[in-house]
């Protein structure tokens, strides 16, 4: 019996719940050298200016555990991506793009005018994703990433929403 339809379903993107925080911390730990624990994430989530989204399998037969997450912070009519990560076993399936699209839609609905992010200049797949969503490079920060695979330069990127 084949279950190809199970894996072909797009993820469901929704607000993170408090019980998701340990799994989000786990995904963050396998994605970044400086890991945030569940307590740090809980403090972020509690802030009014922060939005935390998770991607889950859409099948009722699958786990409800997060596959990836996105954290956004707004200030006035601008927002920034604090972090985005997809579990390494789930990468390459469009989950990061779905998270970003949901975040952009939410910010647009909230009448936010622009979204900023910083990305390691050596992270080609992330840069490709952001450019496909309309982000443009607006600056560089030399030596921003100490654990970079490249020279540590961060590209500052922005997309206009309004």
What confidence tens digit (pLDDT) does each residue in 32-46 have? 888 999 999 999 999
Beta bridge partners of 120: 154
The share of the chain scoring above pLDDT 90, in percent, equals: 77
Q: What pTM did the predictor assign?
A: 0.90
pLDDT-derived band at 20, boundaries 50, 70, 90:
very high
What pLDDT score does 59 carry?
67
Give the pLDDT mean for 101-129.
95
Mean pLDDT of the chain: 90
Residue 118 has pLDDT above 60, yes or no: yes
Average of pLDDT values for 134-138? 97
Question: Does residue 103 carry a pLDDT above 60?
Answer: yes
Kindly state the tokens that stand for 31.
Answer: 């994605």
Q: Count CB neighbours of 154 within 10 A.
A: 19
């Amino acid at each position: 019996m084949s279950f190809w339809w199970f894996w072909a379903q797009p993820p469901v993107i929704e607000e993170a719940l408090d019980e998701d925080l340990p799994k989000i911390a786990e995904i963050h730990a396998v994605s970044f050298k400086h890991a945030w624990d569940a307590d740090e994430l809980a403090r972020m989530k509690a802030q009014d200016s922060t939005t935390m989204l998770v991607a889950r399998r859409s099948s009722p037969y699958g786990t409800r555990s997060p596959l990836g997450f996105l954290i956004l912070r707004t200030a006035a009519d601008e927002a920034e991506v604090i972090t985005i990560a997809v579990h390494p076993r789930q990468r390459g399936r469009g989950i990061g793009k779905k998270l970003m699209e949901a975040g952009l839609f939410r910010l647009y609905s909230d009448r936010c005018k622009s979204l900023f992010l910083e990305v390691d200049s050596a992270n080609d797949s992330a840069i490709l994703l952001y450019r496909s969503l309309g982000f443009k490079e607006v600056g560089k920060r030399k030596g921003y990433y100490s654990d970079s695979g490249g020279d540590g330069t961060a590209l500052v990127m922005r997309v206009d929403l309004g």
